[in-house]
Chains A and B, each alone.
Chain A
Amino acid sequence: MARTISFSLRLTLLSLWGGLVCAAAAQTAVIFSETTLRSDVSEVRVTFSTTDQNNRVVGTIQPTDFAIVDQDRVVRDFRSFNRSEYTRMEVVVLVDASGSVAPQSRLEFSKVIQLIAETQGVPDESFSVVSFRDLKPAVVCEGHCRELYTQAKLPVITSSGLTPLYDSIVFASRMLARRNDHNTRRILVLFSDGADTISLKSFSDAMDSVLDNDIVIYSVDVGSQPQASRGTLVLQGFAANTGGRYFPIAAGTDKVIDAILEDFRATYTVAYKLPSHAAGFHQVRILPTHDLGLQFHCRRGYYYPGKGEN
């Protein structure tokens, strides 16, 4: 019996894991017997926000405005489509405190901390700041971060130091994952130049951790190089693959906060029938059906368990 429960739990966890990764895939048929639990995942849910050609959030979207490309299959028939039921945000601001970031970044992230602290909908206990340099990340404050700004206890940027970016993203993802609440949107605001010099984890590990925990990354490029670097691509990759957005530091922190709030208010969730039972990672894109100026921001996909994956 203990084995049965253990196996059932394993399959249930597998299903939950798959569901989280794909922005929730619902089980539609679960048959429980003494030794076997079969799960037929047949619905995919994707949460997304929309911007126009001027990068402004589009508040109202109709199901006829877009189609979903799952793997390579185009889906236009949706089982449901409605505004997301998020009622609150859980925010971690992750700050690169190594010497490679631009000198003005400290001022900018202090502004972001102030703006988030003043934002309605982010309770004091749901807002944390983590900095990273040298070997590992450090929690600057976990809850009660409003005092951080007023007491000028912001992370100090040193002129040297190693940069454990990917390790820190995994660390922050785990912090955000502690709140297991479907009505909470988990947001990671990343201040970095995208460079990593010492992490044990890889870019893929960091991305998987973020996707597993259903986290959206808003990356702010604080790189001191005027032209796009490899780090820029890393930051753009994190934002694009999680349904978030990328901003150069010059855009101003107001824009970052505006984007977070606007996306929070204007996200939709669409559910559709699983178009293919091919096992593995299903890449998801949302593309317009008529207005090519619309851009849809959603996570990059989900895992569908199948042969060869245990």
Chain B
Amino acid sequence: MKRSLLLAVLFCALPISLAAENRLHQQGTIVRMRMTDCLGAEHPLMQALSGSNRGPSGEVCPEYVLVTDKVVYVIVGKTSDQLVPLAETTRFHFQNNEVLIRVDDARRESRFHVKAMMLRPEWDRYEQIAETEAMTAAHHHLEGAALVDGQQ
């Protein structure tokens, strides 16, 4: 009787724990990746804000821009070989102010510093402005070249 009761409790608790785990896990898409100086031992967000983001060893680490529905995260690996597959969807969760990502069949999750965060609409707006400026610069160059040629 006790055993069946225990099984019943476990059976009921399973969906609840799975739901809790799903709620903790988020998903996003990595839209940018570059190699940059590793962050030191100082708190990474504070270090990024102060501008002293050079690691002590001169080592470079992967930096990713992870876009979710509401927030955009800039995360940095702790070592140079901490690469994440660039799949369409990246599942992650937070622990102690770090982003944890499980890579394929790896036993442990990879931990990333959070270097910066931004609200999604704000980030979209910055992106649009940057691209417009780059396109304008490129067109100015071609028109300038045409003008110089015409004066010759």
Contact = CB atoms under 8 A, between A and B. Distances in A.
B108 interface: no
B41 interface: no
Nearest to B149: A7
A289 B85 contact: yes
Contact of B141 (A67, A287, A289, A309): A309
Interface in A283-308: 287-292, 304-308
Interface string A191-227: 0000000000000000000000000000000000000
A55 interface: no
Given A35-B150, A39-B142, A277-B134, A72 B87 contact: no
Contact of A73 (B31, B85, B87, B103): B31
A72 B33 contact: yes
Interface string B105-148: 00000000000000000000000000100110110111111100
Contacts of B104: 290-292
A72 B149 CA distance: 34
A82 interface: no
Interface in B66-107: 83, 85-88, 103-104
Interface string B15-51: 0000000000000001111100000000000000000
B152 interface: yes
Contact of B134 (A3, A37, A279, A305): A279
Interface residues of B, number: 28
Contacts of B140: 307
B141 A72 contact: no
Contact of B33 (A11, A287, A288, A306): A287
Nearest to A71: B34
A310 B85 CA distance: 38
B58 to A, nearest CB: 16
B30 A74 contact: yes
B134 A292 contact: no
Contacts of A288: 85-86
Interface of B: 30-34, 65, 83, 85-88, 103-104, 131, 134-135, 137-138, 140-146, 149-150, 152
